[in-house]
Amino acid sequence: MPNCSSLQKSLAWCQGTPEFPGIKRRLYYISKASIAKWPTLPTDAAGRPTGAVYQGSFVLVADANWKYIDILSEKSQLTSEAQGEVPSQTQLNKLTAVHPAVGPDATAASAYLNNSDNVFIIEDMKGKYRVVGSDMWNTKTTVSQDLGQGATGTTSTTINVEATDVVPAPFYEGEIVTEDGTIEASGSQSGSTNTGSGSTNTGGSGSGSTNTGSGSSNTGGSGSGSTITGSGSSNTGGSGSVPDDFPGYD
């Protein structure tokens, strides 16, 4: 006989606790074909999810890495809603990511996002990373574009993502291997340590996140910070998030 004990728990909230809405300016994505092994959600013996935080890291195939898209935070959004009927209900996670440019590079996004099964990672305003996309179901990605209207209009390339999962956009605390280095999504380390030829390091108190690479630069303060490792990489801040001084848009 399976153990059918209840998984329900109390859900408290302290009055006055700030809950910052929105997502940050940079998201990461990769084709599922480039993922060799997925992290897993904790489950009980009956297969019921017991948490919403992935255990482990994404393991990528050789030479693969996560690509990034810079977006407008104030126009982008992540939502989740239940779908289906008992006992087969799941969550439909929806991501709307608005990139401001409409040039050749932004326009080409439709060629490698449409009709491709992708997974996306976003960072919320508290520095927590969330995953949109599952190894159980296909991810639907569509790209639309608006060249604006009139002198006061605005341009945009919008990436819309729909992904079914067992929980709303699971949290991720593993590694994000990017073309600029590796991000430690857990943000569990503070301060900074930098080793490399010709490198510059300004760090705060505490045992640090690590930035290793030739010609790299790392400036960090006290507090929780992400870890970026790679040649020529740059990590500024100690807040556990990707720095705001991103390169210019396409």
Can you spell out the DSSP letters for 192-216?
Answer: EEEESTT-EEE--SSSPEEEE-TT-
Q: What is the pLDDT of residues 44-98, one digit of tens each?
A: 988 899 999 999 999 999 999 999 999 999 999 999 999 999 999 999 999 999 9
Dihedral sign for Cα 221, 23, 64, 250, please. negative
- Please indicate whether residue 107 or residue 248 has the higher confidence score (pLDDT): 107
Question: Contact at 8 Å (CB) between 209 and 184?
Answer: yes
Give the pTM: 0.75
pLDDT tier at 173, thresholds 50, 70, 90: very high
Given a contact cutoff of 8 angstroms between Cβ atoms, the answer to whether 49 and 41 are in contact is yes
Q: Is pLDDT at 6 greater than 90 in this prediction?
A: no
Q: Provide the pLDDT for residue 46.
A: 87
- 246: closest CA among 173, 180, 200? 180
Q: Using CA atoms, how far apart are residues 67 and 21, in angstroms rounded to an integer? A: 24
Label residue 29 by pLDDT band (50, 70, 90): very high
pLDDT tens digits, 146-162 = 999 999 999 999 999 99
How far, in Å, CA of 167 to CA of 160, rounded?
A: 19
When pLDDT is averaged across residues 114-133 and rounded to a whole number, the result is: 97
> Which of 7-11, 30-34, 54-58 shows the lowest per-residue confidence on average (mean pLDDT)?
7-11
User: Using CA atoms, how far apart are residues 172 and 167, in angstroms rounded to an integer?
Assistant: 13
